[in-house]
Amino acid sequence: MRTTLARFGAALFLIAYLLWFAGGGLWARFTGDDLTNLNVHLTPSFGRLILSNLTYWSAAYRPMGGLVYVTVYRLPGFHPMPFRVVAFALLAGNLVLLYGVCLRLTERREVALLATLLVSYHAWLVDLYYSSGTLYELLCFAFYFAAFGYYVGIRRTGARLQLRQLVMFLALYVCALNSKELAVTLPLAVACYEWIWHGRKWDSRGAAVTTLLTIPYVIGKLTGRDSLAAIPAYRPAISVARYMHTFHLYLNVLFYQDHFFRDLNEILLLAAMLALAVWQRSRPPLFAWCFVLFSVLPFIFVPHYSGFFIYLPMAGWALYAATALAMLREKIGRAVPAAVLFLAVALALAPLHTRESKKSMRVFTSAQLPTTEMTAELRRVEPALPHGAHLFFQDDPFPQRTYYLVFLVRLLYDDLTAQVARAKDGDAMDGRYDAVFRWEDGKLAKVAGGR
């Protein structure tokens, strides 16, 4: 009974910890990424979207995320709240999955809880909590660790995956691939686990089969007509120098630093981490050390840079730190209960999270689009439009030469054929528009003279 209460108490604490710092994200507005992603995924038919999830090697853009985007949009309609609820359900579920993986790897509830606490919130990953555009990261994390946890749960007993189990494992992996490209490192995670925990008795089938599944996926994503690699910001430049440079950029994000980490102290940190794992002859920190090095491979060589990319790799850092903290507690003396260490870490991080979240939110909100305001005004001024309507905006609050207003109009009226012209973009007004609008002092007015 006491164990059950402690387990549920820790789970409730972690959820409360997440909501305390990031709960405002439940009321977040649509971002530009949300509008763009929804338009991209609504363009093909729903059947085509399902087919893209089956043909995972195609160049279709993250079809699992598309499936979630379209489903949430079609059921409740065009409102950000349902997307935010799904995002927070994934954030909470991912903590459960991470806890399970760490518990299987370490067989220590103390370490699993500490690792989960360390991943529960990070102020500089603000997009995870306030933008539905990170649904891809959240889904990828969920399926990645669901697959890996499922695999480890079977192998830790010494059993090998039977055909039915192998199919389930591969299905979860394909779902992770369909969520985001970060999932391609799962074969390395499986191989690393087998090498560290099973040595000469390792089973190569899991790593081999996932690698075989990965090859057509990588080819399709890099060479397809709609390949991300065709976009300059996603075109990789593979070199040791690029790896080292980008790695310390993300190290600075991880540790709330601006320019502290450089190549030299980055190497010293990684060397010290490896030395500790080898000295202690402990498998979990050795695995975690390997994981933080290879889990960044899908994005470490591309110019595009976003702090929330480290969401999945952060699991490796958390596992390593949690193991090290538990080792330190044992060295100091077992008189210090594990629960005291857990609460001490949570309390020590709280003021740091609070301080940094204020800074990150200032940056995030400064770039927000007036999606909520424009949606409300359009609903007030023009509740309905004819199919294929042509609209003209004499002025609007959206950035010049962007498609955000076009996407918002199409999503609000559920009409991908709607056309939007803007004086801000140099479009000329003539008599062919169904409605003409002007934005003044935060209000939208319909101008007489539309068609």
Query: Domain ranges in the chain?
Result: 2-366, 371-447
Mean pLDDT across the stretch 205-211? Answer: 94
Mean pLDDT across the stretch 95-106? Answer: 97
Mean pLDDT across the stretch 81-109? Answer: 97
Mean pLDDT across the stretch 434-441? Answer: 92
Q: Is the pLDDT of residue 166 over 60?
A: yes
- Provide the pLDDT for residue 448: 61
Q: Is the pLDDT of residue 11 over 90?
A: no
Mean pLDDT estimate for the chain: 92
Q: Is the pLDDT of residue 204 over 90?
A: no
Mean pLDDT across the stretch 225-243? Answer: 76
- Provide the pLDDT for residue 76: 83
**Element (DSSP H or E) covering residue 422:** strand 419-422
Rounded CA gap, 29 and 131, in Å?
Answer: 8
Rounded CA gap, 328 and 17, in Å?
Answer: 24
Rounded CA gap, 365 and 54, in Å?
Answer: 38
Which one is predicted more confidently, 430 or 248? 248
Rounded CA gap, 412 and 370, in Å?
Answer: 14
Torsion of CA 121, 125, 128, 131, to 10 degrees: 140
Mean pLDDT across the stretch 348-373? Answer: 94
Tell the residue number behind the tokens 């996932």, with chain if given: 210
User: Using alpha carbons only, what angle is made at residue 72 by residues 71 and 73, rounded to the nearest 5 degrees?
Assistant: 90
Alpha helix positions (H), 367-422: 371-381, 404-412
- Provide the pLDDT for residue 181: 94
Q: Is the pLDDT of residue 126 over 60?
A: yes
Name the strands in the sheet holding 390-393, side by side, starting at the edge strand that comes first in the sequence: 419-422, 390-393, 435-440, 443-447
Mean pLDDT across the stretch 393-416? Answer: 95
- Provide the pLDDT for residue 36: 95
Instruction: With H, G, I as helix, E, B as strand and everything else as coil, classify residue 153.
Output: helix
Q: Is the pLDDT of residue 123 over 70?
A: yes
Total-model pTM: 0.94
- Provide the pLDDT for residue 201: 80
Q: In the structure, what pLDDT confidence band is assigned to residue 4 with cuts at 50, 70 and 90?
A: low
Q: Angle of helix 80-106 relative to helix 314-332, nearest 10 degrees?
A: 50
Lowest mean pLDDT among 176-185, 273-282, 328-337: 328-337
- Provide the pLDDT for residue 307: 86
Percentage of residues in the chain having pLDDT higher than 70: 95
Q: Is the pLDDT of residue 369 over 80?
A: yes
- Provide the pLDDT for residue 357: 96
387: left (phi over 0), alpha (psi -120 to 50) or beta: beta
Q: Is the pLDDT of residue 1 over 60?
A: no
Residue type, 33: D
Q: Is the pLDDT of residue 429 over 90?
A: no
Report whether 242 contacts 301 (CB < 8 A). yes
- Provide the pLDDT for residue 376: 96
- Provide the pLDDT for residue 297: 94
Mean pLDDT across the stretch 117-122? Answer: 97
Rounded CA gap, 156 and 162, in Å?
Answer: 14
Q: 368 is written with which tokens?
A: 């927000």
- Provide the pLDDT for residue 228: 67
- Provide the pLDDT for residue 157: 87
- Provide the pLDDT for residue 427: 87
How do the residues of the chain divide into helix, strand and coil, expressed in percent and rounded to 5?
A: 70, 5, 25
Percentage of residues in the chain having pLDDT higher than 90: 79
Mean pLDDT across the stretch 108-121? Answer: 96
Mean pLDDT across the stretch 93-108? Answer: 96
Rounded CA gap, 400 and 423, in Å?
Answer: 10
Q: Is the pLDDT of residue 450 over 70?
A: no
